[in-house]
Amino acid sequence: MTSTVVISARGEQRLEGGHPWIYRTDVGDVHASAGDMVSVRSPRGRILGSALFSDRSQITLRMLSYGETIADEALINRRIAVAHQFRQSLNIDATAYRVVHGEADLLPSLIVDRYGDYLVVQTLSQGMDKLLPVVVEALGSVFAPRGILARNDPRARLLEGLEQRVDVLAGEVPDLITVREGRIEYDVDLRRGQKTGLFLDQRENRDAAALYAHGRLLDCFSYDGGFALRLAPLCRETIAFDISQEAVARVRQNAARHEITIDARVGNVFDELRGLERLRERFDTIVLDPPAFAKTKAAVAKATAGYKEINLRALKLLNPGGILVTCSCSYNMSEAAFAEILHSAAIDARAQVTVVEKRMQGRDHPVLLGVPETYYLKCFILRRVS
């Protein structure tokens, strides 16, 4: 490895603090080209480790290894194999789950999701993108999948100067793949579905919600019906809302396929909650699983208002003894900030509310301590006491 990058003393401190990213402002001399695997040096020339280099992103370096440990293809192979072993040890009752969760699996900017016999890959930095052939080879030997799809269409790739594209990288990938989560089967369109097809990160929160779901259920931001399908059999009546017609059509199909009764409606949750309030409707279980309102730091103030609004309205619609499962998948919204929004929503709704469970994304999406970016999904299970 001949490419090298020298970082500042402040950058060195960041690494010692456990964060694997070095920003542009902490980078000195660069002898590397876009996407290189580089040797990272201290201002005095000490070898700090190996990293993926980007000549475009604000995140210039993403560490792969520390000290003298050499980052090479074998290291990528080993880490993918270890990530797979860990997921197998979790005994996940589903055929779709995350296999590689980027930084938390020490494979920065690499996402791999498994959908039955198929894998979906995202490479979200120049360096990982350049390693794609190595990743595909490793995935082939660890999983022997029937097909590997690159869902490289996230906007984050634009920050790296990478194109947005979707390609079959190995084998073949049918238009629809059938996977199972618990007792529910889904037909997933890996090429066009949101994220890599399904919201795999909510699997355990759906199961947790099932411990409390009862009475009349309202599932807001339902997508394919992840929460509604899991909880409806436990409830007397279920209404689900999503703004996307296609999503609502899939909720209806999935409900019919499993002989579950769900009243799935197209609607903007902000308007619908207000409408339900006007009609004096009441519910015993409500799920709020909106898209990330705070995609950037600048968007946090507006996002705060959005989260407050839906949580306030939901609490008003909730009967005493009712359960609110409320989520934020914005990593820019900290757990503490989200809890504060929920508190202020409860005050405005004149509701007394207890926190029954505080949860996060599923165990197949672990959080790397010291890297708040890997703790993105917050999920509170609240109970309206009075």
- Interface with ligand SAH by CB under 6 A: which residues? 199, 202, 221-224, 226-227, 241-244, 247, 268-270, 289-291
Q: If you ran DSSP here, which 8-state letter would residue 299 be given?
A: G
Looking at the Cβ atoms of 75 and 184, the one nearer to ligand SAH is 184
* Shortest separation between residue 282's beta carbon and ligand SAH, angstroms: 20
User: Based on CB atoms, which residue is closest to ligand SAH, 54 or 205?
Assistant: 205
> Minimum distance from CB of 78 to ligand SAH (Å)?
33
Residue-wise burial string across 31-44, b where 16 or more C-beta atoms lie within 10 A, e elsewhere: ebeebbbbbbbbee
Amino acid identity of residue 383, one-letter, is: R
- Vertex 169 angle, CA 164 and 172, to 5°: 120
Residue 130 CA to residue 12 CA, distance in Å, equals 26
Which residue in 235, 327, 329, 379 is the catalytic one?
329
Active site residue 220: no
Q: Closer to ligand SAH at the Cβ: 96 or 135?
A: 96
Exposure string of 232-263, with b = 16+ CB inside 10 Å and e = fewer, is bebbeebbbbbbeeebbebbbebbeeeebebe
**Smallest distance from ligand SAH to CB 161, Å:** 28
Instruction: List the Cα angle 152/158/163 in 5-degree steps.
Output: 50
Closer of 14 and 216 to ligand SAH (Cβ): 216
Q: Which amino acid is at 315?
A: L
Q: How far is the CB of 82 from ligand SAH (least distance, A)?
A: 28
The answer to whether the beta carbons of residues 184 and 253 sit under 8 Å apart is no
Least separation in angstroms between residue 272's CB and ligand SAH is: 7
Residue type, 103: E
Nearer to ligand SAH, 66 or 270 (CB): 270
Compute the least distance from the CB of residue 43 to ligand SAH, in Å: 45
Burial readout 328-351 (b: 16 or more C-beta within 10 A, e: otherwise): bbbbbbeeebbeebbeebbeebeb
Identify the three-state secondary structure at position 308: helix
Whichever of 99 and 287 has its CB closer to ligand SAH, that residue is 287
Q: Which amino acids are annotated catalytic?
A: 329
